[in-house]
């Protein structure tokens, strides 16, 4: 265990423990690796030595390719299993008197569409950070509105007013849940004060929701004075649209002037909608974050920066103190100028159903694997819940790597000595929020958040690690942030198709983790990044194993060893070994349930047949120049009540007819038919008669068990979330075609 403290006489600020299961992971990896090598050797020999027919060599070749991919994925996963660690912080040990030493903190919240991301939700996220247990004169919250929406700005005008009541209320009553929405739905109090503030909140919420529903702000009704009205003048110009408008910047709270209702200062709250033009690529979220980096540099230039998605409410007001436990530790004590570039909190979600049918908590990626990478060079950046040192955005950690920004006002260590409402400051802030500002600069390539991938988080984090930065995974028992997870299955798959495209943009780039990563970060960390960035190639083995053995079975062709063959044991070991290890890791190390694990393994196969496949296609089309424009399909944060109820009952929400459901439905059908066919043969002739097909029958059975929710949705369910009839028919037709083609091929 390593213990660090402010100095040797003070109690520790944090500790780091290696997780004990690392030893078993290593031993198991050694044994499993031998089995993998044996399997690959077997494939190669049978390909070279015996080649009785075209269909035999094709099948063997496809299985070899699938197993090679699986072996590669396995190796990359092991890299993250070699040295998992767990940290703990002790914020109580930070000297109480040190608050005046706290670094300033700039919080960035991104939103992009008031209809997909309801402003009330964004307001709650902002409120939960405005109410941080942090000196208000050091705290600034910047809201980036890529929707360029007056509705969002209106919601924030209201936020500024309500904050004056909400912040002192939280402070005086020791409120932990500082998003008012969450607080009022989980706490029912009879006190007059609470009732009063709840009424204020409900009024504000009503007002915002009515304005959003109507799509316009009624000037007479809602805007109380001329200053407020003037704010919205910008929107009155005829050519103001989401994709084409000047930069809009509005200081809604200024900590030098704004006071709450008990006379204390309020933090800064600044609305930023960067300039948009139809002719300039706006680079999605990374572009928005870079604008915030510059605008905040001009206005407050805090050395610490926190990035949040609009739905990621903070659930612990002392979260920044966990970060300070590292900030104040040697060798960097009080400067953050060490090699540690960012502190990543896990992304956790609220409202996930009991058994997590979509594996929406992204367990593997947001929990297990970050512990593994934390023992190496640190967790990847996952987009939200990340505290950065501002310095990381300007080149590697050593002085010689520093990349100077184009104007002195953006230097990361420049002290700020002008008020944020100073006209010159505001002028410059508008300028750096302009859509052509980045032309011929290093923004997006050597500075700031990096452009080049739809998963700007993984991509940026990778480049930061390659420059020499390290990161820290901070996982307090009590969740620090909770976000929304989509509840419609189509939304989940579309979101993950976008991630798949982004991951491939990284893994297939010239600076792929496979080459640059391993060279710069060493084998383990480099392979660890491969694990994340080669995510979608999983669809190759999954598609193969979901169809090939089953189609072979239907044609009576054996592709796996017989029961009496010793290789049978090897196959069984490889399958059960990795499944059991994953299950144990999930249920013990991460303390989750068997049912959740079971659902997660199902989603793994489903992803292979949907988002990974479609994301892969999109990527290929884009690389070939066939489709040039891939938009950022924003994940909807709207919750339909009926849908939510079905989701809470554990029902998959198909509903819309989408090609993304087709391959999984075809796999479900073909596995069912081949399983039935296999069983019929067993009934007729007994197990020994089909001993060459046993593994294929078992595999089809496994496919069938995993497809139960699909059969239900196709045949049994009548609710609007059922499998769309059109897609069912398409799946049946295509399955029949596939079976016919297979029977021709297998007879060749």
Ligand X SMILES: O=c1ccn([C@@H]2O[C@H](COP(=O)(O)OP(=O)(O)O[C@H]3O[C@H](CO)[C@@H](O)[C@H](O)[C@H]3O)[C@@H](O)[C@H]2O)c(=O)[nH]1
Catalytic residues: 146, 457
Judged by CB under 5 A, which stretch of 30-38, 270-278, 542-550, 627-635 contacts Mn ion?
627-635
Structure tokens at 628: 């040039």
Q: What is the C-alpha to C-alpha distance for residues 42 and 64, in angstroms, rounded to an integer?
A: 9
Which is closer to ligand X, CB of 66 or CB of 272?
272
Write down the least CB distance from residue 373 to ligand X, Å: 17
Which is closer to ligand X, CB of 502 or CB of 526?
502
Contact between 384 and Mn ion by CB under 5 A: the answer reads no
Q: What is the C-alpha to C-alpha distance for residues 748 and 743, in angstroms, rounded to an integer?
A: 9
Q: What is the C-alpha to C-alpha distance for residues 258 and 261, in angstroms, rounded to an integer?
A: 10
Binding partner at 411 among Mn ion, ligand X, none, C-beta below 5 to 8 Å by kind: none
Write down the least CB distance from residue 204 to ligand X, Å: 21
Binding partner at 369 among Mn ion, ligand X, none, C-beta below 5 to 8 Å by kind: none
Which is closer to ligand X, CB of 269 or CB of 325?
269
Total residues binding Mn ion (CB under 5 A)? 1
Nearest residue to Mn ion by CB is 635
- Is residue 160 within a helix (H) or strand (E), and if so which, with residue range? helix 150-173
Write down the least CB distance from residue 277 to ligand X, Å: 14
CA angle 24, 25, 29 (to 5 degrees): 115
Do 229 and 219 meet the contact criterion of CB atoms below 8 Å apart? Answer: yes
Residue set of the binding site for Mn(2+): 285, 309
Nearest residue to ligand X by CB is 383
Nearest to 113, CA basis, from 247, 230, 273: 273
Write down the least CB distance from residue 116 to ligand X, Å: 8
Contact between 453 and Mn ion by CB under 5 A: the answer reads no
In the complex, the residues that contact ligand X under the rule CB under 6 A are 110-112, 117, 144, 146, 284-285, 288, 309-310, 383-384, 454-457, 495, 499, 502, 632, 634-635
Contact between 635 and Mn ion by CB under 5 A: the answer reads yes
Which is closer to ligand X, CB of 304 or CB of 634?
634
Q: What is the C-alpha to C-alpha distance for residues 356 and 341, in angstroms, rounded to an integer?
A: 33
CA angle 70, 73, 78 (to 5 degrees): 125
Do 720 and 644 meet the contact criterion of CB atoms below 8 Å apart? Answer: no
Which is closer to ligand X, CB of 57 or CB of 509?
509
Binding partner at 254 among ligand X, Mn ion, none, C-beta below 5 to 8 Å by kind: none
Write down the least CB distance from residue 273 to ligand X, Å: 10
Q: Which distant-in-sequence residues (6+ apart) come within 8 Å of 372 by Cβ?
A: 79, 80, 81, 82, 83, 84, 528
481-484 and 105-111: which strand pairing? unpaired
CA angle 438, 443, 446 (to 5 degrees): 150
Residue set of the binding site: 116-117, 146, 285, 309
Binding partner at 290 among Mn ion, ligand X, none, C-beta below 5 to 8 Å by kind: none
Binding partner at 724 among ligand X, Mn ion, none, C-beta below 5 to 8 Å by kind: none
Which is closer to ligand X, CB of 146 or CB of 653?
146
Say what the alpha-carbon torsion angle 399, 404, 405, 406 is, to the nearest 10 degrees: 170
Which is closer to ligand X, CB of 639 or CB of 682?
639
Write down the least CB distance from residue 450 to Mn ion, Å: 20
Which is closer to ligand X, CB of 146 or CB of 158?
146
Which is closer to ligand X, CB of 429 or CB of 524?
429
CA angle 543, 546, 548 (to 5 degrees): 90
Which is closer to Mn ion, CB of 285 or CB of 520?
285
> 3-state DSSP call for residue 748?
coil
CA angle 113, 115, 121 (to 5 degrees): 85
Do 389 and 337 meet the contact criterion of CB atoms below 8 Å apart? Answer: yes
110, β-bridge pairs: 144, 309
Write down the least CB distance from residue 60 to Mn ion, Å: 43
Q: What is the C-alpha to C-alpha distance for residues 502 and 383, in angstroms, rounded to an integer?
A: 13
- Is residue 144 within a helix (H) or strand (E), and if so which, with residue range? strand 139-145
Write down the least CB distance from residue 712 to ligand X, Å: 27
Binding partner at 455 among Mn ion, ligand X, none, C-beta below 5 to 8 Å by kind: ligand X
Q: What is the C-alpha to C-alpha distance for residues 592 and 475, in angstroms, rounded to an integer?
A: 16
Write down the least CB distance from residue 387 to ligand X, Å: 14
Do 742 and 551 meet the contact criterion of CB atoms below 8 Å apart? Answer: yes
Residue written as token pair 């950690």 = 397
Nearest to 200, CA basis, from 159, 238, 241: 159
Binding partner at 665 among Mn ion, ligand X, none, C-beta below 5 to 8 Å by kind: none
Structure tokens at 707: 């497809």
Binding partner at 79 among ligand X, Mn ion, none, C-beta below 5 to 8 Å by kind: none
Q: What is the C-alpha to C-alpha distance for residues 94 and 240, in angstroms, rounded to an integer?
A: 49
Do 322 and 476 meet the contact criterion of CB atoms below 8 Å apart? Answer: yes
Binding partner at 146 among ligand X, Mn ion, none, C-beta below 5 to 8 Å by kind: ligand X
Q: What is the C-alpha to C-alpha distance for residues 592 and 433, in angstroms, rounded to an integer?
A: 44
Residue set of the binding site for UDP-alpha-D-glucose: 116-117, 146
Binding partner at 457 among ligand X, Mn ion, none, C-beta below 5 to 8 Å by kind: ligand X
Write down the least CB distance from residue 309 to Mn ion, Å: 5
DSSP 456-500: HHHHHHHHHHHHT-EEEE---SS-SEEEE---SHHHHHHHHHHHH
Applying CB under 5 A, the residues found at the interface with Mn ion are: 635
């Amino acid at each position: 265990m390593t213990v660090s403290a402010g100095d040797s006489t003070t109690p520790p600020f944090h500790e780091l423990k290696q997780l004990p299961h690392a030893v078993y992971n290593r031993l198991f990896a050694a044994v499993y690796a031998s089995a993998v090598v044996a399997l690959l050797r077997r494939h190669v020999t049978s390909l070279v030595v015996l080649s009785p027919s075209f269909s035999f060599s094709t099948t063997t070749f496809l299985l070899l390719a699938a197993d090679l991919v699986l072996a590669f994925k396995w190796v990359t996963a092991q890299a993250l299993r070699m040295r998992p660690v767990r940290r703990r912080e002790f914020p109580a040990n930070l000297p109480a008197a040190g608050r005046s030493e706290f670094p300033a903190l700039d919080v960035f919240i991104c939103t992009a569409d008031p209809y997909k991301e309801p402003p009330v939700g964004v307001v709650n996220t902002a409120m939960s950070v405005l109410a941080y247990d942090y000196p208000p004169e050091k705290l600034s919250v910047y809201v980036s509105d890529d929707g360029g929406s007056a509705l969002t700005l209106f919601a924030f005008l209201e936020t500024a007013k309500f904050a004056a009541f909400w912040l002192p209320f939280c402070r005086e009553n020791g409120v932990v849940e500082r998003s008012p929405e969450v607080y009022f739905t989980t706490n029912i109090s009879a006190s007059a004060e609470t009732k009063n503030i709840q009424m204020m909140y409900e009024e504000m919420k009503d007002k915002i929701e009515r304005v959003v529903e109507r799509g316009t702000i009624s000037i007479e009704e809602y805007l109380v004075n001329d200053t407020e009205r003037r704010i919205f003048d910008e929107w009155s110009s005829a050519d103001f649209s989401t994709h084409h408008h000047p930069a809009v910047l509005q200081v809604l709270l200024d900590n030098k002037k704004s006071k709450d209702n008990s006379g204390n200062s309020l933090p800064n709250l600044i609305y930023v909608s960067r300039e948009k033009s139809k002719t300039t690529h706006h680079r999605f979220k990374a572009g928005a974050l870079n604008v915030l980096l510059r605008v905040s540099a001009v206005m407050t230039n805090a050395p610490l920066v926190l990035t949040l998605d609009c739905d990621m409410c903070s659930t612990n007001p002392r979260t920044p103190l966990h970060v300070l436990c590292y900030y104040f530790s040697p060798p960097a004590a009080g400067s953050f100028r060490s090699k540690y570039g960012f502190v990543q909190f896990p992304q956790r979600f609220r409202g996930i159903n009991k058994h997590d049918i979509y594996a929406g908590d992204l367990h593997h990626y947001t929990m297990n694997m970050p512990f593994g990478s934390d023992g190496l060079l640190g967790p990847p950046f996952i987009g939200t819940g990340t505290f950065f040192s501002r310095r990381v955005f300007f080149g590697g950690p050593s002085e010689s790597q520093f990349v100077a920004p184009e104007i002195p006002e953006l230097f990361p260590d420049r002290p700020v000595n002008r008020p944020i409402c100073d006209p010159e400051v505001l002028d410059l802030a508008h300028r750096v929020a302009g859509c052509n500002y980045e032309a011929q600069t290093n923004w997006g390539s050597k500075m700031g958040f990096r452009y080049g991938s739809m998963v700007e988080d993984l991509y940026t984090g990778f480049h930061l690690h390659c420059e020499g930065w390290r990161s820290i995974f901070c996982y307090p028992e009590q969740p620090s942030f909770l976000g929304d997870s989509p509840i419609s299955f189509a939304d989940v798959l579309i979101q993950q198709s976008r991630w798949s495209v982004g991951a491939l943009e990284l893994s297939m780039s010239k600076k792929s983790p496979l080459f640059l990563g391993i060279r710069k970060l060493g084998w383990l960390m480099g392979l660890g990044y491969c694990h994340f960035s080669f995510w979608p190639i999983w669809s190759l083995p999954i598609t193969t194993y979901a169809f090939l053995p089953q189609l072979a079975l239907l044609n009576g062709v054996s592709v796996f060893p017989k029961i009496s063959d010793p290789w049978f044991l090897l196959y069984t070991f490889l399958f059960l070994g990795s499944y059991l290890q994953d299950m144990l890791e999930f249920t013990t190390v991460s303390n989750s349930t068997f049912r959740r694990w079971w659902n997660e393994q199902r989603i793994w196969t489903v992803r292979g047949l949907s988002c990974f496949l479609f994301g892969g296609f999109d990527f290929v089309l884009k690389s070939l120049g066939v489709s040039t424009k891939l938009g950022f399909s924003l994940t909807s944060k709207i919750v339909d009540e009926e849908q939510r109820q079905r989701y809470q009952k554990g029902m998959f929400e198909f509903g819309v007819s989408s090609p993304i459901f087709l391959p999984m439905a075809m796999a479900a059908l073909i596995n069912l038919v081949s399983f039935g066919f296999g069983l019929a043969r067993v009934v007729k002739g007994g197990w020994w008669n089909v001993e060459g097909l046993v593994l294929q029958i078992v595999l089809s059975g496994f496919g069938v068990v995993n497809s139960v929710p699909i059969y239900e949705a196709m045949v049994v369910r009548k609710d609007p979330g059922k499998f769309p009839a059109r897609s069912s028919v398409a799946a049946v037709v295509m399955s029949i075609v596939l079976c016919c083609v297979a029977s021709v091929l297998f007879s060749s």
